């Protein structure tokens, strides 16, 4: 067990506390392996009635995965250590999705990428006034992984497609509105909620009793526009639709979309559409592992991380730099099955 993941027992609750505050608790391979080991042990422990996932300190629940490590892997070892990370992270995601005991995730603060992957499988997902949810991968040449294809494609309307393409951030009230959170609590009430849950009180009753009235979900005002512009099957059609709408909102989202990796956006669209044809979360994770194994070593990922994380010039040079330049053969290769010995499998 790494000290970047703390575990403890309180009453009937087994608690996972992410403890990498300087990185906003971004996940490493060791953290994923540690959580898997703890969850497997608790699954066999009859004294554990519920698992709680929280963060130890700092301003975020979990900002994602260790992006810097993934870039180093792409540049230095051909993606070998990056694929090991994805293998374990996706196994953790699947373990949580299929876990037989209730899991409560407290999404207090920044919840992005890998943080989405360990909160969305939870039966109870608690947002607060501090929650900032996003799947921003299209801005670094990646795609909404950790089950993102499954969750986003199944949100009402087209909001999931909007989130996947633009990387838009939602606050806690918007997460509740979209169905990404099951409950909304004031951050000051979280400790009491955890205390009551650990004492054995019925989880739904605890969260309902302590729930706060969420503010108006700002995104709801744009739901019609999202349904209109993001209903199309191709990136080119989405861009053309936004371009034909001269409203301030449409122009803002068009500019945002044009700043993203065209390849990543096309991968995301195909991923979400394909996800709707899958019948199990294991199939989802196998598909995402294929995508991740390929995208990791393509130029856009290293360039996106350089622009956003390393040099911070926010001026990535995408390759290709237009939607029309992304070839169908490239997408086919990204989604193709891996050799049988390399395919992702659950624990």
- 129-153 residue pLDDT tens: 999 999 999 999 999 999 999 999 9
Q: Mean pLDDT of all residues in the chain? A: 97
Q: Using omega within 30 degrees of 0 as the cis cutoff, is the peptide bond preceding 159 cis? A: no
Domain count, the chain: 1
CA-closest candidate to residue 59, choices 107, 3, 6: 107
In a domain, 61, yes or no: yes
Other CB atoms within 10 Å distance of the CB of residue 113: 25
Q: Parallel, antiparallel, or unpaired for β 124-127 and 110-112?
A: unpaired
Strands 183-184 and 103-107: unpaired
137 is catalytic: yes
What tokens were used for 342?
Answer: 């390399």
**Which residues have a Cβ under 8 Å from the Cβ of 229 and sit 6 or more positions away?**
238, 241, 242, 245, 250, 253
Q: Is residue 202 part of a domain?
A: yes
Q: With respect to residue 218, please indicate whether it lies within any of the assigned structural domains.
A: yes
Instruction: Indicate which residue of 33, 54, 89, 145 is catalytic.
Output: 145
- Please tell me which residue in 114, 139, 141, 304 is annotated as part of the active site: 114
Say whether 145 is catalytic: yes
Tens of pLDDT, residue by residue over 71-93, are: 999 999 999 999 999 999 999 99
Range of the domain at 55: 5-342
Whether 311 is in a domain gets the answer yes
Active-site residue flag, 304: no
Instruction: Express as a percent the part of the chain with pLDDT over 90.
Output: 99
Report the CATH number at residue 176: 3.90.226.10
Burial (CB count <10 Å: 0-12, 13-18, 19+), residue 83? buried
Q: Which of 108, 137, 271, 284 is catalytic?
A: 137
Q: Catalytic: 171?
A: no
- Evaluate whether residue 70 is within a structural domain: yes
Q: Is residue 321 situated within a structural domain?
A: yes
Structure tokens at 2: 């790494």
Give CA–CA dist 44/42, Å, rounded. Answer: 5
Kindly report, residue by residue over 88-103, the tens digit of the pLDDT: 999 999 999 999 999 9
Please pick, among 65, 147, 149, 160, the residue that the annotation labels catalytic.
Answer: 65
* Percentage of residues of the chain with pLDDT beyond 70: 100
Residue 347 inside a domain? The answer is: no
**24 within domain boundaries:** yes
């Amino acid at each position: 067990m790494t000290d970047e993941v703390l575990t403890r027992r309180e009453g009937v609750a087994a608690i996972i506390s992410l403890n990498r505050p300087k990185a906003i608790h971004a996940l490493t391979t060791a953290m994923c392996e540690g959580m898997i080991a703890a969850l497997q042990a608790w699954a066999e422990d009859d004294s554990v009635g519920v698992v709680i996932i929280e963060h130890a300190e700092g301003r975020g629940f979990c900002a994602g995965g260790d992006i810097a490590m993934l870039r180093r892997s792409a540049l230095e070892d051909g993606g070998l250590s990056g694929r090991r990370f994805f293998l374990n992270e996706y196994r953790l995601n699947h373990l949580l999705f299929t876990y037989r005991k209730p899991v409560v995730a407290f999404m207090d603060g920044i919840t992005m990428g890998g943080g989405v992957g360990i909160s969305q499988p939870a039966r109870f997902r608690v947002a607060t006034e501090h929650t900032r949810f996003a799947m921003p991968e299209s801005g670094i040449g990646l795609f909404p992984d950790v089950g993102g294809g499954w969750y986003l494609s199944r949100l009402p309307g087209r909001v999931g497609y909007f989130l996947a393409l633009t990387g838009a951030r939602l606050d806690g009230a918007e997460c509740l509105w979209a169905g990404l959170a099951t409950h909304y609590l004031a951050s000051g009430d979280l400790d009491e909620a955890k205390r009551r849950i650990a004492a054995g009180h019925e989880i739904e009753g605890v969260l309902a009793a302590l729930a706060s009235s969420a503010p108006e979900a700002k995104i709801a005002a744009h739901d019609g526009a999202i349904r209109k512009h993001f209903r199309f099957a191709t990136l080119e059609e989405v861009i053309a639709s936004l371009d034909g709408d001269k409203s301030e909102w449409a122009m803002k989202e068009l500019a945002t979309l044009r700043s993203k990796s065209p390849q990543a956006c096309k991968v995301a669209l195909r991923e979400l559409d394909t996800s709707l044809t899958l019948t199990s979360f294991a199939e989802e994770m196998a598909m995402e592992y294929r995508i991740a194994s390929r995208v990791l070593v393509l130029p856009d990922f290293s360039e996106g991380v350089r622009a956003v994380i390393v040099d911070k010039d926010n001026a990535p040079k995408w390759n290709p730099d237009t939607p029309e330049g992304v070839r169908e053969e490239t997408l086919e290769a990204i989604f193709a099955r891996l050799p049988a010995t390399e395919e992702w499998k659950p624990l």
